[in-house]
Amino acid sequence: MSQTVSLPATSSRLALTDVKTPNIQSRGLNFYFGDGELRKQVLFDNNLDVMPGEIVIMTGPSGSGKTTLLTLIGGLRTAKEGSLKVLKQEMVGASAQQLVRLRRQMGFIFQAHNLFESLTAFQNVKMALELFDFSQQEMRTRITETLTRLGLGHRIHYKPDSLSGGQRQRVAIARGLVHKPKLILADEPTAALDEKSGREVVTIFQELAREEGCTILIVTHDNRILDVADRIVNMVDGRIKSNVYVQESAKVCEFLQKCDFLRDLTPRTLVEVADKMFREDFSSGDTIIRQGDPGDKFYLIRKGSVEIEATRNGETKIVAVLGEGDFFGEMALLTDAPRNATVRAKEQTVLYALGKADFLSVIEQSPTFEQELRKSIFERQ
Amino acid sequence: MKTPLAWRNLAHNKARTAVAVAGVAFAVVLIFMQLGFRGAVVSTATLIYDALEFDVLIRSVEYLHFADPRSFPRSRLHVAASTPGVAHVAPFYAQTNQWRNPQNGSRRGLLVMGVSVGQKAFRLPELRRQIEKLTSPEFVLIDRKSRREFGPAQGEQFSDADLGVETNVGEARVRVVGHFALGAGLAADGALVTSDEGFVRLTPGQSVEWVSLGLVRVQPGANHEHVAREIDNLLPVDVEVMTRREAAERETRHWLRGTPIGLIFQMGVGISLIVGVAIVYQVLSSDVTAHLGEYATLKAMGYTDQKLARVVISQSLCLAILGFGPGLLAARVLYEVTSYYANIPIAMTWPRVAGVLLMTIAMCAASGVAALRKVWVADPAELF
C-alpha cells in the first residue's frame, strides 16, 4: 500500500523505518511579520526533517526567509502556524519559559562574536555553563578543553581586545559548544576566519555531529565548507526550494545515470530530476501500477524488488523482475497510453517516483532523450 | 562562583564608571547637605529649650517661636505653683532686640533673655555661675556663639576681652559682665542673658508682670503629663501648658512645617535624588546600549530577563556603594566647614548615614531598573 509522504525522495537518508526522531521537524510552517493590513507572509508551508547527527547548510538569497526559519527553530521567535518540533518540543504555541528552557539545549553562534570585552575568553565561555549546575572543577575542565580544541589553549585568560578577529570568533564558537548542545545554530560561523581556522571549526562541527549526535544548522555563503554538509537546504521567497540529503542525491543520480535515456543529461539536470522525485513505500504484494490504468508516474527502485506481470491475449504471466537501481513506468507517460503491465512489490520496497509533468519537462530538456527512450524501450522488448 | 559580570563591566570601562561614581557621590553630598541643614533646623530649634531647666512649660496661646514668644500675666505662674505635684515655677523673658556693634556701631538683631537671678532657669552650670554676676539691670552676659558681626573685641568670638565693654541694646545702655556658650539657632544670630529687671529695662512697654514663659519643675516622681494637665485645667485659655517633649516637638514642627525652611530642604533632598537617578541612569543605559549585542546573546543562550536584571541591578548597586563612600567623606568635611562658618551645629549622625545609604541604594536601583528596559527589549532574533 502506498504511503503518503510529502517530503522529496532525496531529502533524507534512506531508512526503511524511522529509527530516530528528528531533532527538527516542521510541517506546514507559515510565518508572518506584522499584523493586520501590514501582515506579510515570509515563510510558506515549510516542511523539513533534520535528524540527529546531521549537518545542514542553509542557503538562499537574503530575504529568502532562511534566517527567519533559523530564529523560529532557535526559539528566538514564536512560531504560530503549522507545526515545528525542535528537540521533541512543539514550538507552535510554546510559552516563553519553554522556549528559554529549550534554548539552553542549543548552541548559538552569531556572525558578530558578541563577547563581553570585560571578560576573559575563559569567563566569556563560562557564561554559557553558568546556566547549568556544573561543579567549578567540571566547568574549568570543559572550558579549557573546548578552548584548547579550538586552538586557543594559550589564550585562555586573554580578553577579547588582545585577541585577533579569528580568535574572538573561535571564543564565541567555544561559548556555543561548551555545554554540548543537542542543536547548534550558526550564522556565517566561518566568515571571519581564514581558511585554516574555518576548516578547524567545521571539523569540530563534524566531530560533534558524529560523536555527540548533535544537529548543526549553518547559514552560510562560504562554499569552502559545503563539503561538510549532509544536507543542503535552499530557500527562495520563503519556500524551501530544495532540500537535499547530499549522499542520497548522489546515489539517486548514480542510478538515474544508468538509464540509457538519461545518460546524456548534465549532473545538474540529474540533481534536479532527483530533487523532484518523491518517496513511496510498498509492502510485499502491494500493487504499484495496474495494467490499463492511465500512466501518471515514473518510478526508480531505491530498495527492494518488483515483478512485472503482463496480460496479453488473455494470458497473464510475469514478464520481468526488477531490483535496486532499475526503473519502470516511463512508457505510459511517453506514449500517453494506459499502463501495459501490472507492477507488484515482491518485498518491502522503496520507490522514488517522478510525476508525469516533471518527467515530460525533463524530456524536453534533452534533445536526445526521446530517441534514447524509444531505443531503450525497443531494446527491452 | 559565578562570573561577576557586573563588576567586570564596571572595572573594564573605568572612565564611564568614574563618571557614574562621581555622579553618585555628588548626589550623596547634596542629600547629606540638605539633610544636614534640615537637621540643623531641628537641633537649633530646640537648642535653647535643651538648655532651659523645666519639666512643664507654660506659654501664651499666641506663642510663635522662641524669639517671638508673646507674653501672659505673671499671676498665672502663682496658680501653677500651687498645683499639686509642682515643685517650682520660674518666670522667663525673651524677645528679639537690636544690639549695637561696639566696634563699628552697626546694629543687628539678637535674642534677649531675662531670668530671675535667684532662680535656676538654665541647665548649663557655666551660665548659672555667670547669672550671679547680673547684679545690676544694665549688666548683660553675651553668647560666645553669637556671630562675629556683633563685634567681639578679638574679632572672632566674645571672650574675657569683652568684659566691661559698654554698648546699646535698643535705646538702653548695657555693660557686658560675662559670657557663655549657647547658640541661639535660627531665630537670632546672637543671644544675651540679663536679669528680669534688665530685660524690662531693655524692652520698652514691658513689665515684669508680663512673662514670656513659665518654667515649671515638677516634684520628683510626679508624672509630667499629669501635672501639665492639672495646671492647664486651672489656668484660663490665654495660656497653654505642655511637657518638655511636647514643647520641643512643637518648636521643631513650627520650623519644619510652619515655615518654608523644612519644605525647601525636603525639596532639596528630592531634587538631589533625581539628579542622582539621572546621572546613574545615563551611565548605566549607555553601558547597556554598548553591550546590547552581548546581552541579546546571553538571552539567546537561555539567560532569563531576571538573570540579566540581576547583572544590571548589581552594577547599579556597586555604583551606589562606590559613590557613597566618597560622598560621605566629602559631606563630613562640608559639615565641619558649614558648622564653623554658619555657626549652626550640623552633625553626622548614624541614622542619617544609614538613611542616605538606603536612599543612594534606592536611587541607583531605580536607575538600574530604568536602564533594564533596554535589556528587556534586546531581541536575540535580531542577531542573526
Q: Which residue of A has its CA nearest to B2?
A: A130
Is B12 in the same domain as B84? no
Contacts of A368 (CB under 8 A, 6+ apart): A261, A264
A chain contacts of residue B13, beta-carbon cutoff 8 Å: 118
B258 against B239, higher pLDDT: B239
Give the separation between CA A246 and CA A226, rounded to whole angstroms: 10
Q: Per the domain annotation, does B174 fall within a domain?
A: yes
A window 136-175, beta carbon within 8 A of B = 136, 175
Q: How many domains does chain B have?
A: 2
Task: Please check whether residue B26 lies inside any domain of the structure.
Answer: yes
Based on the fold, state whether residues A210 and A309 are members of the same structural domain: no
A132 near B CB under 8 A? no
Is A220 part of any domain? yes
Task: Tell me which residue range forms the domain holding A326.
Answer: 259-380
Tell me if B3 and A100 make a contact (CB, 8 A cut-off): no
* Confidence check: pLDDT of A381 > 60: no
B300 to chain A: which residues are within 8 Å by CB?
74, 76, 103, 108, 110
What single DSSP character describes residue A260? Answer: G
Same domain, A138 and A264: no
Cα A11 from Cα B237, distance rounded (Å): 103
Evaluate if residue A235 carries a pLDDT over 70. yes
How much of chain B, in percent, has pLDDT values that exceed 90? 59
Residues A202 and A79 placed together within one structural domain of the fold: yes
Q: Residues A190, A324: one domain?
A: no
Q: Within a domain: residue B255?
A: no
Query: Are A140 and A218 spatial neighbours (Cβ–Cβ below 8 Å)?
Result: no
- The CATH number of whichever domain residue A268 belongs to comes to 2.60.120.10
A266 found inside a domain:
yes
Residue with cell 504484494: A285
B113 or B120, which is more confident? B113
B384 interaction partners in chain A (CB closer than 8 Å): 67, 70-71, 76, 110-111, 187, 219
Q: Do A216 and A346 have their domain in common?
A: no
Residues of A in contact with B294 (CB under 8 A): 114-116
d(CA B115, CA B199): 8
Counting the structural domains of chain A, the total is 2
Give CA separation, B379 vs A147, B253, B268, in Å: 28, 53, 40
For residue A78, is it within any domain? yes
Nearest Cα neighbor of A91 from A31, A150, A160 is: A31
| Contact state of B3 with A119 under an 8 Å Cβ cutoff | yes
**Residue B162 domain-assigned (yes or no):** yes
CB atoms within 10 A of CB A126: 22
Distance of CA A228 to the CA centre of its chain: 13
Judging contacts by C-beta atoms under 8 Å, the chain B residues touching residue A111 are 383-384
**Domain range holding B34?**
5-44+260-383
DSSP E strands, chain A: 24-33, 40-50, 55-59, 81-86, 89-90, 106-109, 183-187, 215-219, 231-236, 239-245, 278-282, 287-289, 297-303, 306-312, 315-322, 327-328, 342-345, 349-355
Task: Check whether residue A277 and residue A226 sit in a common domain.
Answer: no
Residues B26 and B68 in one domain: no
pLDDT value, residue A109: 92
Q: Verify that A242 and A266 share a domain, yes or no.
A: no
Query: B8 to chain A: which residues are within 8 Å by CB?
Result: 116, 118-119, 123
Collapsing DSSP states into helix, strand and coil, what is residue B311? helix
Residues B66 and B33 both lie in one domain: no
User: Which chain B residue has its CA at the smallest distance from A78's CA?
Assistant: B381
- Nearest residue on chain B to A179, judged by CA atoms? B301
Lowest mean pLDDT among B257-271, B295-309, B310-324: B257-271
Maximum Cα–Cα distance across chain B: 95
Of B204, B236, B268, at which residue does a domain stop? B236
CATH of residue A80:
3.40.50.300
| A96 and A32 within one domain | yes
Inside any domain, residue B31: yes
The answer on A167 and A113 residing in a single domain is: yes
For residues A241 and A128, membership in a common domain is answered with: yes
Question: Within the 95-124 window of chain A, which residues sit less than 8 Å (CB to CB) from chain B?
Answer: 100-101, 103-104, 108, 110-112, 114-119, 123
Would you state the pLDDT for residue A3? 42
pLDDT higher than threshold 70 for residue A216: yes
- Of A181, A213, A246, the position where a domain reaches its end is A246
- Together in a domain, A142 and A206: yes
A4 pLDDT more than 50: no
Asked if residue B253 is part of any domain, the answer here is: no
Edge-to-edge strand ranges of the sheet holding A349-355: A278-282, A349-355, A297-303, A327-328
Q: How confident is the model at residue A344 (pLDDT cuts 50, 70, 90)?
A: very high
Banded model confidence at residue A1, pLDDT cuts 50, 70, 90: very low
Of the three residues A201, A221, A246, the one that is the final residue of a domain is A246
Could you count the other beta carbons within 10 Å of the beta carbon of residue B25?
A: 24
Same structural domain, B29 and B101: no
Identify from B8, B297, B310 which residue to disrupt to test chain A contact, counting A C-beta atoms within 10 A and taking the largest count: B297
Q: Are residues B111 and B218 in the same domain?
A: yes
Same domain, A122 and A203: yes
Identify whether A192 is part of a domain: yes
Residue B84 sits in the same domain as residue B211: yes
Q: Which of A74, A111, A136 sits opposite B300 (nearest CB)?
A: A74
The CA distances from residue B279 to B146, B276, B284, B310, in Å, are 41, 5, 9, 20
**What rounded mean pLDDT belongs to chain B?**
90
Residue that finishes a domain, picked among A246, A278, A296: A246
pTM above 0.80, yes or no: no
Question: Residue A98: which region, alpha, beta or left (left: phi > 0; alpha: psi -120 to 50)?
Answer: alpha
* Residue A252 counted as domain residue: no
* Statement: residue A368 has pLDDT above 50: yes
Q: What is the pLDDT of residue A314?
A: 83
For B12-39, the pLDDT digits (tens) are 889 989 999 999 999 999 999 999 988 8
Which pLDDT score is estimated for A193? 82
Same domain membership, residue B227 and residue B115:
yes
For B208-217, the pLDDT digits (tens) are: 899 999 999 9
